[in-house]
Amino acid sequence: MPLRWIYRHANATETSWRDLTRLLLFSVSLLALSVVSVAIDWRPNDATLQTGSIADRTIKAPESLSFTSALRTAERRKEAYDDQRNVITVHDENVRTEQLAALRQFLDAADELRVKRDVSREEAAADLQAKLGDLPVSDATRILGLSSASWERVRAESIRLVGLTLADPIKQDEVRPRKDSLADRLAPQLSSEEQSLVLAISRPFIRANVHIDDDRTHANREAAASAVEPVTVNVLAGQAIVRDGDIVSAYDIEKLEKFGLLNRAIDLSTRLGRSALMVILTMVTIGYLLRFQPQLWRGRQLLLLSIVMLMPMMVARLVLPHANIQYIFPIAASAMLLAMLLDYQIALTIGTLLSFYVAIIADMSMELIFLYAVASVAGVLVVWNAERTIRFVWAGVAVSASMFVVALAFNALTMTVTWSIVGERAIEVAVAGALASSMTFLSFSVIGSALGITTHLQLMELAHPSRPLLYRLAREAPGTYHHSIVVSNLAESGVEAVGGDPLFARVAVLYHDIGKLERPTFFIENQGHIENPHDLLDPQTSARVILDHVSDGVRLARKAHLPAAIVSIIAQHHGTSLIRYFYQRALDIDGTVSEADFRYPGPKPQTKEAGVIMLSDAVEATVRAAAGSGRLVRSKEHAGEGKDTLDAIVTQVIRERVDDGQLDECDLTLREIELIRRTFVQMLEGVYHPRVEYPATVEPTASPVTPVTSSASE
Helix, strand and coil percent figures for the chain, each rounded to 5: 65, 5, 30
Q: Are residues 433 and 477 in the same domain?
A: no
The helix or strand, by DSSP H or E, that contains position 91, with its residue range, turns out to be strand 89-91
Look at residue 376 and tell me if it is in a domain: yes
Query: Residue 326: what pLDDT?
Result: 79
pLDDT grade for 129, boundaries at 50, 70 and 90: confident
Q: Are residues 431 and 489 in the same domain?
A: no
Q: Are residues 150 and 279 in the same domain?
A: no
The average pLDDT across 498-526 equals 93
The average pLDDT across 292-318 equals 80
Q: Classify burial at 615, counting beta carbons within 10 Å of its beta carbon; exposed 0-12, middle 13-18, buried 19 or more.
A: buried
Mark 452-462 as b/e (b = at least 16 C-beta within 10 Å).
ebbbbbbbeeb
Residue 117: DSSP 8-state:
-
Amino acid at 685: E
> Can you tell me the distance from the alpha carbon of 378 to that of 357, in angstroms, rounded to the nearest whole number?
19
- Boundary residue ending a domain (447, 479, 502): 447
Q: Are residues 193 and 279 in the same domain?
A: no
Taking the CB of residue 273, how many other CB atoms lie within 10 A of it? 14
Q: What CATH number has the domain bearing residue 567?
A: 1.10.3210
Over the stretch 502-515, which tens digit does the pLDDT of each residue have? Answer: 999 999 999 999 99
Please state the pTM of the whole predicted model: 0.59
> Can you tell me the distance from the alpha carbon of 313 to that of 615, in angstroms, rounded to the nearest whole number?
44
SS3 410: helix
pLDDT grade for 714, boundaries at 50, 70 and 90: very low
391: Cβ contacts below 8 Å, ≥ 6 apart? 382, 383
Q: Are residues 361 and 468 in the same domain?
A: no
Q: Are residues 198 and 297 in the same domain?
A: no
**Residue 497 pLDDT greater than 90, yes or no:** yes
Backbone angles phi, psi at 501, to 5 degrees: -105, 95
Query: Residue 8: what pLDDT?
Result: 34
Look at residue 554 and tell me if it is in a domain: yes
Over the stretch 69-111, which tens digit does the pLDDT of each residue have? Answer: 888 888 888 988 888 888 888 888 888 899 889 889 988 888 8
Q: Are residues 442 and 479 in the same domain?
A: no
Query: Residue 712: what pLDDT?
Result: 32
Q: Minimal CA–CA distance to 434: which of 400, 408, 403?
A: 400
711 vs 349, more confident: 349
Share of the chain above pLDDT 70, in %: 88
pLDDT grade for 517, boundaries at 50, 70 and 90: very high
422 vs 678, more confident: 678
Look at residue 60 and tell me if it is in a domain: no
Is the Cβ–Cβ distance between 410 and 370 less than 8 Å? Answer: yes
Which of 67-76, 685-694, 695-704 ranks highest by mean pLDDT? 67-76
> Can you tell me the distance from the alpha carbon of 691 to that of 696, in angstroms, rounded to the nearest whole number?
15
pLDDT grade for 637, boundaries at 50, 70 and 90: low
Q: Classify burial at 102, counting beta carbons within 10 Å of its beta carbon; exposed 0-12, middle 13-18, buried 19 or more.
A: middle
The average pLDDT across 599-604 equals 92
> Can you tell me the distance from the alpha carbon of 539 to that of 582, in angstroms, rounded to the nearest whole number?
5
**Residue 385 pLDDT greater than 80, yes or no:** no
Query: Residue 541: what pLDDT?
Result: 92
Look at residue 284 and tell me if it is in a domain: yes
Query: Residue 257: what pLDDT?
Result: 80
**Residue 709 pLDDT greater than 50, yes or no:** no
pLDDT grade for 632, boundaries at 50, 70 and 90: confident
Amino acid at 120: S
The average pLDDT across 579-585 equals 90
DSSP 277-303: HHHHHHHHHHHHHHHH-GGGGGSTHHH
Q: Are residues 542 and 637 in the same domain?
A: yes
Look at residue 705 and tell me if it is in a domain: no
Q: Which domain holds residue 288?
A: 3-42+265-447
Over the stretch 174-193, which tens digit does the pLDDT of each residue have? Answer: 889 988 888 888 888 889 88
The average pLDDT across 441-468 equals 85
> Can you tell me the distance from the alpha carbon of 240 to that of 58, in angstroms, rounded to the nearest whole number?
7
Q: Are residues 26 and 104 in the same domain?
A: no
**Residue 617 pLDDT greater than 50, yes or no:** yes
Question: Which segments of 573-644 does DSSP mark as H helices, in order?
Answer: 580-589, 608-629
Mark 418-445 as b/e (b = at least 16 C-beta within 10 Å).
beebeebbeebbbebbbbbbebbbebbe
Look at residue 387 and tell me if it is in a domain: yes
Q: Are residues 313 and 189 in the same domain?
A: no
> Can you tell me the distance from the alpha carbon of 597 to that of 191, in angstroms, rounded to the nearest whole number?
146
pLDDT grade for 414, boundaries at 50, 70 and 90: low
Q: Are residues 26 and 113 in the same domain?
A: no
DSSP 663-702: TTTS---HHHHHHHHHHHHHHHHHHSPPPP-PPPPPPPPP
Weakest mean pLDDT among 411-420, 459-468, 565-574? 411-420
Q: Are residues 466 and 602 in the same domain?
A: yes
Q: What is the mean pLDDT of the chain?
A: 83
SS3 567: helix
**Residue 661 pLDDT greater than 70, yes or no:** yes
Query: Residue 298: what pLDDT?
Result: 63
pLDDT grade for 14, boundaries at 50, 70 and 90: very low
Query: Residue 46: what pLDDT?
Result: 46
Over the stretch 28-60, which tens digit does the pLDDT of each residue have? Answer: 888 888 887 776 655 444 456 778 888 777 777
The average pLDDT across 611-636 equals 86
402 CB-side CA count, 13 A: 25
**Residue 468 pLDDT greater than 80, yes or no:** yes
DSSP 158-219: HHHHHHHHHTS---GGGHHHHHHGGGGGS-TTS-HHHHHHHHHHHGGG----EEE-HHHHHH
Look at residue 219 and tell me if it is in a domain: no
> Can you tell me the distance from the alpha carbon of 584 to that of 165, in angstroms, rounded to the nearest whole number?
130
Query: Residue 710: what pLDDT?
Result: 34
Q: Is the peptide bond before 502 cis (omega within 30 degrees of 0)?
A: no
Over the stretch 166-177, which tens digit does the pLDDT of each residue have? Answer: 899 988 888 899
> How many domains is the chain built from?
3
Give the gyration radius of the chain's Cα atoms: 48
Is the Cβ–Cβ distance between 356 and 281 less than 8 Å? Answer: yes
Taken as a whole, the chain contains a residue count of 714
Taking the CB of residue 178, how many other CB atoms lie within 10 A of it? 18
Look at residue 556 and tell me if it is in a domain: yes
> Can you tell me the distance from the alpha carbon of 54 to that of 243, in angstroms, rounded to the nearest whole number?
9
